[in-house]
Structure 1
């Protein structure tokens, strides 16, 4: 408390003194930023380049690839420079001037016959956490009408979409917060190149922030000499009146996005080298020209003049402020003493400035949660269960989050253990796990914030959106297994594995979220929880695999039916008619294996990943259902007696 009082006194004194000083703006300077990637390799991942969606840097390729060749259909991805770049000066309202050159290759993948679909774009985005939609959106936007995450892009588009005003299937376009280009040009007539001819090309994009003009040049072949400014031909394309100011924050993220459609000839986009330089205006903050000596007035007799100095008024103001604060703290302390875990309470309203975007989980104040969820407004509710209500929220930096607010009755018995577990899970980062963005243990509130995944949960896709192709279902199963295996390798458990806890991003990548924490096991002892949590995860994952294969919910007696069909040799009857029966039956076998007793063949999640990737031979299942296999309870979220057949 004393540290807080001292900080407030100093701040108040400085504020009062500053009211007498009229600082003139400092001299204008130019801030420059440059980066260079002659090639790309595994060392760039995470350190310099953030890969999202289907973007990858294969070890031997030396290039960013969007999408990965192994999964080219209906994919979207981004490769973003990991640190934000200053591209806008708030004081002058001027955008930065910048220039970027990069070499690229667009080719038709393993089967390059016939027309291809997709496109590559250089993007300027407000965060490094969002991937746009596949197909004609080129990975730039999540939705054509989206307002909260505007992106500036220069697109290299190889498909003509008349609904977006595309001039041809071989064009460049300038996109300002919209999928419809503000300006465009035919690449064949402007540059004499075919963008997706499979050859290595180079592109130069230069923007003049003062004159609001943007120039683009694309040339065949690539060499360092060709990319030098003095060596570039004059026949580039220049677009005037391109004002980026309305679409820029002070700091933005730069990189590349790409996507493919769901047709028979998707294409691969490679970026093999990249240079970027920018220059933006800024003003230095300089000290006041006044000095302390100029404030000291000594009379001829050596006495201080009788005029009351301004410092006296400052002193009186600070004393009054301190008294008010002490009274307020006294009453707040009395109020807090009625709650448990007072060491975790945050002062409501004391908002901390977050890095934009945050790169780790944070402790949020209740005031920030109120602001993000519109005071827990009904319009923000995403869902609820017996222990919690889930809301959609928007943080001050513009990013969306999922806010899960637990009821006090559910949390009281396990709150301290839950706090520790939330913070531990908050440190986990994996491509197939929804990141925990933060938490709030404020007064009586227990709240967990997750990153928002816009495509919803798996159960909505399986049971509400119509037919989901087998390739996507199988990818979801493998993605979820990878995430769960990673958690188990860290000695952690999910404790809430089900279709509604698996979320789908715009590239149809599956992310495991909505952790059960300690609530799943209620008042069970810590020892019992540690003993069964991972085993329960495996059992629940097995049931979820059968949901994916059959398209049926677990509440329909799915596990009993699956074992009955296995005993009669008719497992194919459970497979959704739209799926690949052979591969789906193998996944079903792995799912049944996950529901075996632990001492009778239940695999670890590491083994499950090996089975799904065909890296391990699949053991034979017992011909009949084990007698000690207990039925799954859809009401409790656990197996009967919390056992799942592990200890019977």
Structure 2
């Protein structure tokens, strides 16, 4: 490890290598470094850093990478590239030079145990890659295109506060080493090893407490070492993680060093208090006493109004007090909630009814987004954060099963996937539950496929294929990649919502199953929508991943053809979409089933693939349907789609008896 190189070898190298060290900063707000190979910043007031995105430096010298705005990114990096290759030294000229850095950071989330995305220290061959980076899950480092591309030439140590199954994150509070991808080559829980006891102590990255990180790269051993500890605790002897990484292909000459951070749907602020860096030697030690102060850890309590005690001098004053008490009692009844002792552990996931009442303007009809099978959905904006939300009212008169219901709501609130509508929490009143979600500004996919007012057929084929891939990815996460299996039970276009970038997000996941609490245990309650229900549900009533795949097959055909799974034609005859597409396939004209109102041209091979995959997912036999992982492999071209034989497609005739008139009726 670099920090423990023998003194005489380090000295020999510094004598033979070209002189390349920058001026060190001193004082509380100084910054160092011009173009040298080492620098130190005790605060960043007046520092010569390059900032972009929302990154800024406060008057007090704090480097603020993100300022609490949603869907933003921020970068701060040393203005001049550093020479990570040193052909003039005695070492292998093809190897990246050793380096060492240490920095102090803090993350302020909107909630004590929940944050938006984290931050990363990076080494990048070219800052152009940062200009095209996306916020949210990419930490402002990469995007969908260059993530995993060796040409990105980016190395990073991420301090990640979101669990993202797409990148195989281990949890929502981890440290990882990344090379050209947000899928870490090595990751571990955030924390440190106590020198006195040797025990591992967890650290919450979103605790709003300052922490120090040390990163060392040994160019000869091609080894990265990462250590962290609370600010004020000496560097632990045992590192947090150590892994082999060859940066020779990442830094081909000079490279930039700095920090990147991003936010998604939750407000967060990311701070850096101090930073030092050195090539071919240990980074200069930071003086904790010279670092700038962080903002208050929690919002200051409201100042109390001075209590004025006045004698009751007249009946008028008594009447005024009585009126005030009556008004307060009425106000309390308006915002009354149900609280029970078993809900204490769920506190961070509970919203106050008062906040939701004001957010939705008293659940005004003007805020009503729509009526679902279980209640109305209202648009709102939280007063303190400004965050836009959707609030779903669910009637729940019976107390039977309410504890299990809330427990499952909170459990589902831990789901984290870019193609699922985030369930943020709940509120409970007498006779009803309120579920709080992220607000999706572009509404449901259903209106673009079947709606009026010019929205019908308004999305082109690339957008539709992107939405299909997204919904498949979200379902795969529910079925296989989360810690529990979640069966959606109602996959359909009206339950796919579109965010500001027209990404498809599956909503109401698992809630159909949750609503069954309190039902008669001896009865079978089939939940879903006609046209999407798998045949076996009529016999067993048991939802499985295969029944979700069947509904997804109907969804594929619906999105591609622009038609509902079951419709009435002009002669009032029932038309089953899967049968209609099957006939097109048999006649060799499956591409002709595509939505004729879809704008612009489309790729016939992609349309044919999606339609045939829809038929495969709609097979009457559950064992013949693919899994969602196989579906993703087919869509990504990683595995060829099986041939649909005449014998195979003949079995689709088995499906017709399960359809009845009155399509798209939730049961």
Please classify the TM superposition score into its range, dividing by the shorter chain length: 0.3 to 0.5
Taking structure 2 as the reference length, the TM-score comes to: 0.45
Taking structure 1 as the reference length, the TM-score comes to: 0.46
Higher relative contact order (CA 8 A, sep 6+): 1
